[in-house]
Amino acid sequence: MATSTTAPLTGYLSDNAAGTAPEILAAMAEASTGLAAPYGNDPTSARLTTLMAGVFERPVDVFVVGTGSAANGLALAACTPPWGSILTHPDGHITNDEAGAPEFFTDGAKIVLVDGPRSTMDPTALRAAVVRRRGDVHSVQPSVVSLTQVTETGSVHTLDEVREVSTIAHDAGLRVHMDGARFANALVALECTPAEMTWRAGVDILSFGATKNGTMTAEAIVSFDPSLSTELAFRHKRGGQLTSKMRFQSAQLVAYLENDLWMRHARNANAMAARLREGLRPVTGVEVVGDASANMSYFRFPAALTQALHDRGFTFYDDRWEPGVVRLVTSFAHTARDVDAFVDAGRALAIID
Q: Which is nearer to a copy of itself, 137 or 352 (CB)?
A: 137
> Smallest gap, in angstroms, from Cβ of residue 124 to a copy of itself?
17
**Is residue 14 within the footprint of a copy of itself (CB under 8 A)?**
yes
Q: Which is nearer to a copy of itself, 198 or 211 (CB)?
A: 211
Give dist(CA 206, CA 199) in Å, integer: 9
Q: Which is nearer to a copy of itself, 38 or 282 (CB)?
A: 38
Q: Which is nearer to a copy of itself, 139 or 193 (CB)?
A: 139
Which region, judged by CB under 8 A, interacts with a copy of itself, from 16-24, 183-191, 264-272, 276-284?
16-24
The answer to whether 142 and 112 have CB atoms below 8 angstroms apart is yes
Beta bridge mates, 71 = none
Give dist(CA 126, CA 205) in Å, integer: 19
23, 25, 289, 340: which one binds a copy of itself (CB under 8 A): 25
Q: Which of residues 138-177 bind a copy of itself (CB under 8 A)?
A: 138-141
137, 160, 319, 351: which one binds a copy of itself (CB under 8 A): 137
Q: Which is nearer to a copy of itself, 5 or 284 (CB)?
A: 5
The answer to whether 302 and 350 have CB atoms below 8 angstroms apart is yes
Burial pattern 104-119, b for ≥16 Cβ within 10 A else e, equals ebbeebbbbebebebb
**Is residue 227 within the footprint of a copy of itself (CB under 8 A)?**
no
131, 195, 233, 263: which one binds a copy of itself (CB under 8 A): 233
Distances in whole angstroms, Cα of residue 20 to Cα of each of 68, 273, 332, 353: 17, 19, 9, 37
224, 248, 256, 299: which one binds a copy of itself (CB under 8 A): 248
Size of the site for a copy of itself (CB under 8 A): 76
**Alpha-helical runs (H) found in 3-100:** 22-31, 43-56, 68-77, 93-96
Q: Report cis status (omega within 30 of 0) of the bond before 325.
A: no
Beta bridge mates, 299 = 288, 326
- Residue 207's Cβ-count burial label (10 Å; 0-12, 13-18, 19+) is buried
1, 49, 62, 73: which one binds a copy of itself (CB under 8 A): 73
Per-residue mark of binding to a copy of itself, 76-105 (x: CB under 8 A) = -----xxx------------xxxxxx-xxx
> Smallest gap, in angstroms, from Cβ of residue 77 to a copy of itself?
9
Q: Which is nearer to a copy of itself, 178 or 283 (CB)?
A: 178
Q: Which is nearer to a copy of itself, 84 or 346 (CB)?
A: 84
244, 259, 313, 344: which one binds a copy of itself (CB under 8 A): 244
The answer to whether 329 and 185 have CB atoms below 8 angstroms apart is no
Q: Which of residues 107-136 bind a copy of itself (CB under 8 A)?
A: 107-111
Name, in order, each residue with C-beta under 8 angstroms of 16's C-beta and a sequence gap of 6 or more: 211, 212
Q: Which is nearer to a copy of itself, 65 or 201 (CB)?
A: 65
Per-residue mark of binding to a copy of itself, 182-221 (x: CB under 8 A) = -----------------------------xx---xxx---
Distances in whole angstroms, Cα of residue 199 to Cα of each of 40, 97, 218, 292: 25, 26, 22, 24
